[in-house]
A and B are shown apart, each in its own frame.
Chain A
Amino acid sequence: KAGVTQTPRYLIKTRGQQVTLSCSPISGHRSVSWYQQTPGQGLQFLFEYFSETQRNKGNFPGRFSGRQFSNSRSEMNVSTLELGDSALYLCASSRRGGPDTGELFFGEGSRLTVL
C-alpha cells in the first residue's frame, strides 16, 4: 500500500513569489491535513480537507490556502512568500470519523526555503 506522497520534496523560492505543494493521500483516505513545522514554532495545523471541503482551519494568514480534488489529492498554496514561511510542510492523510480519527499518516514533507 503506497504511503502519502508529497511533491516537490525540496524547493527554493524568493520573497514575494508563490508556491504550490501537492499531496497524494493513501488510497481510501479521504481526509487530508496540512501542518507547518519550524524550529521556532514547532508543528502547527494549517487546514484539513475532507470530501473537497475545508473542515478545519488553523491560525494562518489568508496567504495560505488549499484545496482538495475529487480523487482526494490536495494542494496547498502560499502566496507572497515571506522569509518566515521557510519550513517543512507536512501533509497527512487519514480516514475521518470514528475510532481512526486523529490517526494520521504523514508524508515526508516538502521543505521550502525562502530567500
Chain B
Amino acid sequence: AQSVAQPEDQVNVAEGNPLTVKCTYSVSGNPYLFWYVQYPNRGLQFLLKYITGDNLVKGSYGFEAEFNKSQTSFHLKKPSALVSDSALYFCAVRATGGGNKLTFGTGTQLKVEL
C-alpha cells in the first residue's frame, strides 16, 4: 500500500522569502505524485504533478516541486512567498494502475507573514 508523509504540520515564512513544504512517499512501482492546495472552506485545487521526466516540475502560481527518487521525496517550493499563498497544502501519491485513487498526506499549513 502507498503512503505519504508530511512531517511539518505548519510552516511559517516571511513574504518574499523562499518556501519549502516537505513530502516523502512510499509506493510500489513508479510513483505518480501530486500537490494540492486547500483554502479555507473550499475544496482542493490541483497545483502540479510528477509522472515521469524532469525531476523539477513547475506548476500553478509559481510553485514547483523537486522529485528525488533516492530520497523518496517530492518537496514543494516557491522562490518568493506571498501572503496569498497561505493555505493548507497536501501531497498525494497514486500507485500504478490506481486510477484516480489518491493517497493524501496529513497536510501542511503554510503561513506567510508580512
Query: B107–A42 contact, CB under 8 A?
Result: yes
Query: B104–A56 contact, CB under 8 A?
Result: no
A43 at the interface (CB under 8 A from B): yes
Say what secondary structure dominates the interface of chain A: strand
Query: A108–B101 contact, CB under 8 A?
Result: no
Query: A102–B102 contact, CB under 8 A?
Result: yes
Shortest Cβ distance from B51 into chain A, in angstroms? 7
Query: A56–B98 contact, CB under 8 A?
Result: yes
Query: A103–B45 contact, CB under 8 A?
Result: no
Query: B49–A108 contact, CB under 8 A?
Result: no
Query: A102–B43 contact, CB under 8 A?
Result: no
In this complex, the interface size class of chain A, counting residues with CB under 8 Å from chain B, is 20 to 34
Chain B residues with Cβ below 8 Å from A50 are 99
Which listed residue (A4, A58, A101, A107) contacts B32, Cβ 8 A? A101
CA distance A90 to B106 in the complex (A): 16
A62 at the interface (CB under 8 A from B): no
A13 at the interface (CB under 8 A from B): no
* Other A-B pairs, 7, CB within 8 Å; known A103-B34, A107-B43: A42-B107, A43-B90, A43-B107, A96-B100, A102-B94, A102-B100, A104-B36
Which residues in A have some Cβ–Cβ distance to B below 8 Å?
4, 31, 33, 35, 42-45, 48, 50, 55-56, 58, 90, 92, 94, 96, 99, 101-109
Which residues in B have some Cβ–Cβ distance to A below 8 Å?
32, 34, 36, 41-46, 49, 51, 90, 92, 94, 98-107
